[in-house]
Structure 1
Amino acid sequence: MNLFRTHGWRLALVTSGILMLIGGPMHPEADAKHPLREELAIMTAHPDWIPAHLFVVLSTALLAVGLVAAYRRKAWPAIHRALGIAALAVSLYVVETIFHLAAAVDSHALHHGGAAPVAFTHVGLSVLLYPVSGLAVAYLASRQLVAWRGPRRFAGLPGVAGGLMHALSVPLVLALPNTELTPMFAGSAVLIAVWSLVTGLAGAPRPAAVPAERQPAAV
């Protein structure tokens, strides 16, 4: 039990990475040939929409749990502030992933021009939470690169790249509606999964030992 308390955050990050590597590639592709509503209708009707997003929800929730647990234990003291920012941002992003999954309930309405409140709540949340969570992950990973020492610092590289791609993906979809950006979403998911997996496996560096103050000899 004590081992789980100490290293539970690592298990959460490793499991998160594995689940995302399974679920991310299952996501139905878009081809940018249709307006946003029609693209959503096609994707949410795909049989892989629900299983893919179940993996994504579980992965993101475990990533949030791992980051929050590491923050509460002060497991990454050199980058504690960045860790807190990322833990909060990813926790908020979990809400978006739930609406993302639940958008399937609006598939029929999307096809037939009806109201689709769940699907468009997902879209609205993604406009805000993709940039927020992506930048927070990229910032945390960049602090790993700077503050940590040894090979484990390079776990931050996929986190920086994946976080920035994640942050830009939704804004670019809105700015460039006729451009196929599915590879950007898939790439960011894989990179963040690798970052989570490698960071969990490597663990955080131990704080440097402070030498005990020598007591003056008794006279």
Structure 2
Amino acid sequence: MASVPVTQKPALARRTNLLTAWSLVTGGVFFLVGGAMHPTEDLPDLSMAQQLRAMYEDPAWYPGHGAMFIGMVLITAALFALDRDPRIANVPRARTATRVTALTSIAATVGALLHLVAATDADRIGQSDSTPPLSDVYLVVETISVPLFSFSVAALAVIGALTGTLGNRLTAVLGVVGGIGYGLAGGTAVFTPIFDFLFPTALGVALWMTAAGIGLLLRRRSAGAEQAE
């Protein structure tokens, strides 16, 4: 009887690793697609409230932000699963970076959800020309959560590449550029437009997540081929 769980444990671990890798890949793709759909029209002559209203009324708002939210949910799940992966768990620096990024991704996921539903404020802005409470909350949450998550991704990309646990030195460039750029843009947008041009670098975060997930799949396939030999 004792041989049953022993036999099943490696198979369960392989299925878990496969699911984790695909969650990272799929999450990155959803985030990438959603980010590409984000309204980008620049309306500097309008107040912040009216700029928000214009974006809220854009037909791409709900599908774009819905995709980004789904992407963040999948990325968060994958990061927490990676925290228990032996290859990462046995490397203290990598495990710490993964754990921090997983925790910050929770806040970023909440921010993504608030960002999605904030479009319900469009009519209220039209009536008062000011940002309603929901929009105020999501702006505050994203001002804090986006830099925390993005800078954590940049650090994880570097540490993962240096330790050989996640991604590589080439894909790390995407994580670093995307993480720093998106963090600067998201953390300052409420106060100044000086870094707004960096918002598209968020796609670098999505691309790094996707590439890191593909790397895990290739590594798993390679390990399976070696075992078969």
Taking structure 1 as the reference length, the TM-score comes to 0.84
Shift of 1:62: 0.6
Aligned to 1:82: 97
- Check if 1:144 corresponds to 2:160: yes
Which consecutive aligned stretches of 4+ in structure 1 deviate over 6 angstroms post-superposition?
none
- For 2:216, the aligned partner's letter is G
RMSD: 2.3
- CA offsets 1:121-163 (integer angstroms, 9 cap, x no match): 1101011111111111111111123222898343222111111
Contact 1:8 1:69 in 2 (8 A): no
Shift of 1:7: 2.3
Count of residue pairs the alignment pairs up: 203
Contact 2:56 2:119 in 1 (8 A): yes
1:5 to 9, 13, 16: 16
The structure with the largest helix share of the pair is: 2
- Check if 1:20 corresponds to 2:31: yes
Identity, % of aligned pairs? 24
Matches within 5 A, 1:99-110: 99-110=114-125
Aligned to 1:184: 198
CA distance in 2, matches of 1:170, 1:150: 25
Shift of 1:172: 3.3
Matches within 5 A, 1:62-77: 62-76=74-88, 77=90
**Aligned-partner SS, 2:188:** helix
Contact 1:32 1:180 in 2 (8 A): no
Shift of 1:35: 2.1
1:60 to 43, 67, 72: 72
Give the stretch that moved more between structures: 111-120 or 6-15.
111-120
Aligned to 2:4: none
- Check if 1:122 corresponds to 2:135: no
- For 1:13, the aligned partner's letter is L
Contact 1:134 1:166 in 2 (8 A): yes
Q: 1:180 to 1:71 in 2, by over 3 A?
A: closer
